[in-house]
Chain A
Amino acid sequence: MKKKPSGGKDARFRIANREALIGIGLAVFNFIWWFAFAYGLGGKDPSEYTYVFGLPAWFFYSCVAGVVVMAALVFIVVKYFFTDVSFDDEVYEDQ
């Protein structure tokens, strides 16, 4: 049903599948980080909050630090674990 290039299973798909799994892993990690800090630290009464840079600690760690951590992780993952593949083997190019 799927048109595969001659030679059976496209090796590029193995790379693509691995990278999609990494994407899921990152999102799961992102969710746990976000949830744990937000509801772990933020569930207390507001009068007991501690503050980081003026923001409630739950918010600082969950949201501000969360964004920074994810940006850094994506950078590392892409730099070291993602592989370049070519799109050029198809007739598409000179249609």
Chain B
Amino acid sequence: MNWEAAITLFGSVALIFFIGLMASRKETSGKSFVQDYYLGGRSLGGFVLAMTMTATYGSASSFIGGPGVAYNEGLGWVLLSVTQVATGYFTLMILGKKFAIVTRQYKATTLVDFLKERYRSKLVVLLSAVSIVVFLFSAMAAQWIGGGRLIESLTGLSYTSALFIFVVTVLIYVTFGGFRAVTLTDAIQGSIMFIGTLVLLIAVIIAGGGISEIMADLQAENPNLITPFGSDGTLTAPYVSSYWILVGVGVVALPQIAVRAMSYKNTRSFHLALMIGTIVVGVIMLNMHLIGVFARPILPGIEVGDRVMPLIALEVLPPWLAGVVLAAPLAAIMSTVDSLLLIVSSTIVKDVYINYIKPEASRKKVQRMSMGITALLGILVFLMAVNPPDLIIWLNLFAIGGLEAAFIWPIVMGLYWEKGNKYGAIASMLVGIISYIVFQSFYPEPFGMHAVVTSILLALLAYVGFSLSMRQEPLKH
């Protein structure tokens, strides 16, 4: 066990959370509990908005799983990962001002709120709630596992104890803090990630004897490692390009991202967030995955991909610094988990319970329910994560694809196409989800691309077809 690294790791994480909690204490109460707890009162400034988007999206899959795959596949996987640069600007530009204006008019605080007001259909709400709970549950399990793996590699504790420590920390934090605390710590975490990956990248380059040296070593081992095609040539151009949809532009449809796109204060913050976000996401994604590739000649023969990051940090940095730098991925995972927990619990409490079961529930009651459900969810995911699959990245990508297939057209067309109606939305969600699950199970790469591409196209046809053929009678009261 590496005490020095473990102490600075947990110390940094504790410090981050302490600051978040203190800051969120200052401004509670006022407005409604729901607005505050789930949306931070729509008051995010530009820097915080950019960082919270980055930290939410840059999750266990990019920080633990991604570099692990890059270690095995070489530069081809880095090429695939930089498609995520688009998330830095595309998501905000597409949802952008229209989403912020419309959700304010609707008084919507969640993605489901927006869909409910836009389509006025109980079935749309229930379908959305179910997809969010199911797919985000898988995504959360993936993050849980990543957190456990990281603590396991660093401290030498057993996986289960590591997971336990991780889950308890997250639960305490998110149960009491809510959205504002989460977004504030996201800002700090985002900054640590940015600087941490730079430090680690430089250290890895020095340890490997310079970039040219590392490239020569890689080429000597297997020339494919420095081509765009992956270590055994299987990363084809159509397959890699389809990640533009999966982790690039499709991210528009992720509920945890969409909720942030309605929570900013004014358009100045929004413009600032666009500029900062693009740079930060680009630099972090590029660095993180390059570290995975560069680690290969320095530490050959790591078997579990998910352990590459912690091990290389311990190898090339002094232990205390490794602890601080690894606080970045750990913090990223935590903040992703935090937001996912909040989304799932808000779906259950706000979108289903308050909407359809007990609209007159008191503030106190809603508060207790929200905290209770959040804690309960955490425990359920823990039970799921105790027996993890081998590589978390695939679990996470599965969940992301499912959400995109379900939500992309109801959101985007709902915003920009007036003729879109509830029939289109329902058809599009059903077709998207079902075709995605069927493709994933029986035919994972139609046309050599990730299944999400085909499902999204089918969902678009369904949305347009049903919207046009089943005109909704105008709802005028």
Contact = CB atoms under 8 A, between A and B. Distances in A.
Interface in B246-285: 248-249, 266-268, 271, 274-275, 278-279, 282-283
A31 B96 CA distance: 21
A70 B228 contact: no
Interface stretch (B101-109, B342-350, B387-395, B449-457): B101-109
Interface in A54-79: 54-56, 58-59, 62-64, 66-68, 70-71, 74-75, 78
Contact of A54 (B107, B210, B248, B282): B210
Interface residues of B, number: 62
Interface string A1-13: 1110100001011
B66 to A, nearest CB: 14
Contacts of A68: 282
A70 B89 CA distance: 9
B26 interface: no
Contacts of B244: 31
A74 B267 CA distance: 15
Contacts of B102: 2
A19 to B, nearest CB: 6
B212 interface: yes
A34 B76 CA distance: 12
A16 B416 CA distance: 10
Given A20-B96, A38-B228, A67-B85, A75 B275 contact: yes
Given A26-B89, A62-B79, A84-B268, A78 B96 contact: no
Contact of A27 (B104, B106, B210, B249): B249
A71 B282 contact: yes
B93 A26 contact: yes
Given A46-B227, A70-B278, A30 B85 contact: yes
A82 B107 CA distance: 25
A17 B212 CA distance: 46
A41 to B, nearest CB: 9
B75 to A, nearest CB: 5
Which secondary structure dominates chain A's binding surface?
helix
A22 B104 contact: no
Contacts, number: 155
B83 interface: yes
Interface in B214-241: 214-215, 219, 223-224, 226-229, 237, 241
Residue with the highest number of chain B CB atoms closer than 10 Å, among A1, A3, A35, A90: A1
A2 B100 CA distance: 15
A59 B241 contact: no
Contacts of B229: 42
Given A42-B227, A46-B227, A78-B274, A16 B241 contact: no
A86 B78 CA distance: 40
Nearest to A62: B79
Contacts of B274: 74, 78, 82
29 contacts: A1-B421, A1-B474, A2-B102, A10-B101, A12-B101, A13-B101, A19-B96, A20-B98, A23-B92, A27-B249, A31-B86, A46-B227, A54-B210, A54-B215, A56-B75, A56-B226, A62-B228, A63-B286, A66-B82, A67-B82, A70-B88, A74-B275, A75-B275, A82-B267, A85-B97, A86-B267, A87-B100, A87-B266, A90-B105
Given A31-B86, A43-B228, A63-B79, 9 more contacts: A17-B416, A19-B97, A23-B92, A24-B94, A26-B89, A26-B93, A46-B223, A54-B212, A71-B279
The 7 closest A-B pairs by CB, nearest first: A23-B93, A54-B211, A67-B282, A16-B98, A46-B223, A54-B212, A16-B97
